[in-house]
Structure 1
Amino acid sequence: MTLLDKDGVHVTAEGEVATVTLTNPARRNAQTPATWRALAEAGRVLPGLIRVVVLRAEGKSFSAGLDRRAFEPEGIEGELSFLDLARRTDAELDAAVAEYQQAFTWWRRPDLVSIAAVQGHAIGAGFQLALACDLRVCAHDVQFAMRETSLGLVPDLAGTHPLVGLVGYARALEICATGRFVHADEAERVGLANLVVDAAQLEGAVTDLAAALLASPRDAVIETKALLAGAGARSYDEQRAAERAAQARRLRDLAGLGE
């Protein structure tokens, strides 16, 4: 079932799995504000029964990042040039970037598990989109890079928090400040990639992972995700208490005593 098809973003649902596909391979799935609006809308149109969301891209590249036309004086047709955006007030500029970030923030919703299937280039905004997901399955040809700092900018699409969480502050700083490529072997070693496979096996590996995620009861996965997502902000004793509370809810639910 097709849920959305606009501005280079195609969303389908089958059973408990939704698939969000970037569909502009001719431009290596370069992203524009229209792409971001469509990606934000993708999160809003998902049926309530969806448990797993797969993010994939057509062509050889996952996403080459921001469409550079956004920095040209004439900008992208129908969109405000970033050069013009820079001349807006602080409040207007902040609101614009906050709107762009909405495309990157819903992928870690507590009721979903999201998987990015990443091949080829995942640069800048493409890297941050892959980081937005809970899990990443990568082809051997993957090339991650955070090029914003090299261009005089900063990563501002909600990618810095998950990057530091995955690889630590020092490595995240080095990756961002140098803008270098992170290839598949390093991505797997440092925790950016959950799994690395041949490009021909990427779709099958993601399908298998989705099936494994669906094998456990939904509420148990939701509770476990919440426990793990909040662990970094809790003390050891607070985490133990959170585990006890979550387990009590699960036991009562299994015993038919839930609300």
Structure 2
Amino acid sequence: MASSAQDLGPVLDKDGVRLTVDDAIATVTLTNPAKRNAQSPALWRALTEAGRLLPGSVRVVVLRGEGKSFSAGLDRQMFTPEGIEGEPSFIDLARRDDATLDATIAEYQEAFTWWRRSDIVSIAAVQGHAIGAGFQLALACDLRVVADDVRFAMRETSLGLVPDLTGTHPLVGLVGYARALEICATGRFVTAEESVNTGLANLAVPAADLDAAVQDLAAALLAAPRDAVIETKSLLRGAQNRTYDEQRTAERASQSRRLRDLAGLSE
């Protein structure tokens, strides 16, 4: 990259989230290392806003966390009776009617949904602890590059809850039902070695090399024509919901669009 995204003026910088843009690469950084980038509704709203503020020039989005941990999960204050000031506590949420409670959780989930948009490829750079909501945020991205000290864990079930921030679908897709159930139900740590071996992570590197490895991956992704990447991503994302013959049909339609575009015959 011509310059470091961290050196550029932020497009967004609030509630523990900073968004910077360097031409085709955007960087979303969790900026509260003193609390191991603990998550809160305010942080989720800022993440949602970051997705809305992405310029059309952006092709790759890098998600990273400052400090020794990517994100240690929910802010512990959310588990107290009083909760976080200005936000509903868990007790407050439980007292809401079904429709309101559902709408509140759906709003929280918005912070985790935009990372797989067809027009971008998102990369989570994960070091140290990625627990609960932190694990699910890493799972929200298309790709994961991890440091050798990474420790994933899904602790919600151990606390009497379930993973509800969109993490269950990608987890099952990456590691399979049986392993996903075991990881969630036991709340155990998943190491860098296991995460690569099971397909949870694309690459593991020494912690000191994490940023460089992500930059190299981003550059490789940008080498291919944007429209071809968008079509390929759409094909792969839809493959698990199509039959073999349906996927063949989708491939033909995508390739027809690419051939006409390259020949200058697209509408």
Q: Secondary structure at the match of 1:114?
A: strand
Residue 241 (structure 1) aligns with: 249
Q: What CA distance in whole angstroms lies between the structure 2 residues aligned with 1:4 and 1:82?
A: 28
Q: What CA distance in whole angstroms lies between the structure 1 residues aligned with 2:244 and 2:96?
A: 45
Q: What CA distance in whole angstroms lies between the structure 2 residues aligned with 1:15 and 1:151?
A: 42
Deviation of 1:102 after TM superposition, in Å, equals 0.2
Q: Secondary structure at the match of 1:5?
A: strand
Q: Secondary structure at the match of 2:145?
A: strand
| Residue type at the aligned position of 1:232 | Q
Alignment of 1:205-244 (within 5 A): 205-244=213-252
Within the candidate set 33, 51, 60, 2:68 is matched to: 60
Alignment of 1:61-100 (within 5 A): 61-100=69-108
TM-score (norm 1): 0.99
Runs of 4+ that moved beyond 2 A: none
| Contact 1:72/1:83 (8 A) holds in 2 | no
Residue 107 (structure 1) aligns with: 115
Residue 4 (structure 2) aligns with: none
Residue 198 (structure 2) aligns with: 190
Alignment of 1:164-183 (within 5 A): 164-183=172-191
Within the candidate set 115, 135, 155, 1:127 is matched to: 135
- Measured against aligned partners, the alpha-carbon deviations of 1:133-186 in whole angstroms (never above 9, x if no partner) come to 000000000000000000000000000000000000010000000000000000
| Residue type at the aligned position of 1:164 | V
Consecutive unaligned residues of structure 2, counting only runs of 5 or more, are 1-8
TM-score (norm 2): 0.96
Within the candidate set 25, 33, 48, 2:56 is matched to: 48
Q: Secondary structure at the match of 1:225?
A: helix
- Measured against aligned partners, the alpha-carbon deviations of 1:46-76 in whole angstroms (never above 9, x if no partner) come to 0011000000000000000001211211111
Q: What CA distance in whole angstroms lies between the structure 1 residues aligned with 2:250 and 2:87?
A: 46
Residue 21 (structure 1) aligns with: 29
| Residue type at the aligned position of 1:183 | T
- Measured against aligned partners, the alpha-carbon deviations of 1:210-251 in whole angstroms (never above 9, x if no partner) come to 000000000000000000000000111111111111001000
RMSD: 0.6
Q: What CA distance in whole angstroms lies between the structure 2 residues aligned with 1:181 and 1:199?
A: 18
Residue 6 (structure 2) aligns with: none
Deviation of 1:91 after TM superposition, in Å, equals 0.9
How many residue pairs match? The answer is 259
